[in-house]
Chain A
């Protein structure tokens, strides 16, 4: 078996993930390489979810009975865990949403309805990049259409990096918000946060970072990032679906208006008007995803016990190995950086002129789960003149043997369509 420096003890870890033992297609061992789409869940998270429903289930922030108080303590305890996980200065800066898309839509809508100096209107500009997931494109297109603001973006270099050569023309005095992805879900690129944040701060623009592919894979420190908002989702980091996070700087959350109205987010309500609860509750209308927040808290405990720096090192070693092995497959072209430097563990590629859908189907037959298509980042496919890619993405339980299985599987694909 291939041994690489920096690998985690995957043999022990994998015992925590019941699904990884599954066989598919009559006895094929599952090789799960679709972690950028969603991660698998360890027993500890599954137990936290069922344990919550079996022992504590109640609505939160209301009622004086024991279950309501315990459920509230668990839900708010999850907020404490998230705050510590991302090194937030205050727990009140952590807003629970249903996913990263909702988090990003929330920021766009806060700014659309905000007063000066945050207001986005027809005299201002919004900046994104060409490598964004659709969830960090469409909310800004909607905001631009509704306010008349101009939407601008950074293009990409041929090797899958942001082209920042014209940063001073893209981010200008008119820019109100710069929103960009920390780690690309399709290219794997890790973006240079500091350069973008520095320019945004020069012109007084807010910065929003989509950390959906970063928070599961590396230590997160929102203070070090110096952003104003950071969005990510629970299900890609061993948590359940239905829970996302928006972190925002406290003074902004105090100043910016709510988006969704309803229960939980108010202070007083009359038939004429209402006043709002302080952040984060101002942005959490209605009964929140309580069990899911508890599950995310358990996922954070699980990841933290292993250590995010160790997970990063594990994935970096795997990525180095995968980039090298995939590079040896004939006709294979990696879309994105071809080295492991400043690169996450999602690797997109094309294989000759075999369509990714066909590649994925033949891999699936061998038990290998990858993602095919445009990965909700169609502009990237257009940029590189390809209809789609096949993407393999790794996580803490992935092994070199699984990369070998992928490489063997691709050989089979080439023979099948050869």
Chain B
């Protein structure tokens, strides 16, 4: 069944047993919504220099949006910011590919469990669900590190 290409076992596992759920101390907090379906996420990031110390979140939504946040937490916590950005960009590329990208080994190495979201890219209405937490993370990161960025720009 085509549906199984989206609802991969690994996604349903993350949905039922989410990683790192719950809000913890952070440097910045954002709240993002998907207005078409009512998915919501509140997400906090905590940085130690440029190391992603924690990504904590609370939200409600469909299995895709919730599993995606769980995978994000599993993948990004403990990584360097530059590595996290690379993972985020690769994830975006895959999920927005409209089913045209078949993940290769190199991509699997970057994305790990997140390659399971390849199937979501064939369902345009669900792409936003998969991206909700990743866009929230990007936004929160910009806010958390924005001060430092701004200083660099004016320097």
Contact = CB atoms under 8 A, between A and B. Distances in A.
Contacts of A373: 36-38
B40 interface: yes
Given A361-B6, A361-B126, A387 B1 contact: no
Contacts of A357: 37, 39, 61-64, 126, 129
Report the 9 A-B pairs with minimum CB-CB distance, sorted nearest first: A357-B62, A355-B62, A388-B38, A373-B37, A365-B3, A387-B38, A387-B60, A374-B38, A358-B63
B123 A365 contact: no
Given A357-B62, A358-B63, A388 B37 contact: yes
Contacts of A378: 38
Interface of A: 25-26, 355-358, 361-362, 365, 372-374, 378, 381, 387-388, 416-417
Dominant secondary structure at the B interface = mixed
Interface of B: 1-3, 6-7, 12, 36-40, 60-64, 66, 123, 126, 129
Contacts of A25: 2
B42 to A, nearest CB: 14
A373 B36 CA distance: 7
B122 to A, nearest CB: 12
Given A355-B66, A357-B64, A372-B37, 17 more contacts: A26-B2, A355-B60, A355-B62, A355-B63, A357-B39, A357-B61, A357-B129, A358-B64, A361-B6, A365-B1, A365-B3, A373-B37, A374-B38, A387-B40, A387-B60, A387-B61, A416-B3
Nearest to B123: A361
Contacts of B61: 355, 357, 387
Dominant secondary structure at the A interface = helix
Contacts of B6: 361
A228 B5 CA distance: 53
Contacts of A365: 1-3
A378 B36 CA distance: 10
A356 B2 contact: no
A116 to B, nearest CB: 39
19 contacts: A355-B63, A355-B66, A356-B62, A357-B126, A358-B62, A361-B6, A361-B123, A361-B126, A372-B37, A373-B36, A373-B37, A374-B38, A378-B38, A387-B38, A388-B37, A388-B38, A416-B3, A416-B7, A417-B63
Contacts of A387: 38-40, 60-61
A356 B37 contact: yes
Contacts of B1: 365
A357 B132 CA distance: 14
A302 to B, nearest CB: 31
A361 B3 CA distance: 8
- The residue in B36, B38, B60, B129 that gathers the most chain A C-beta atoms within 10 A of its C-beta is B38
Given A357-B62, A357-B129, A416-B7, A381 B123 contact: no
Contacts of B36: 373
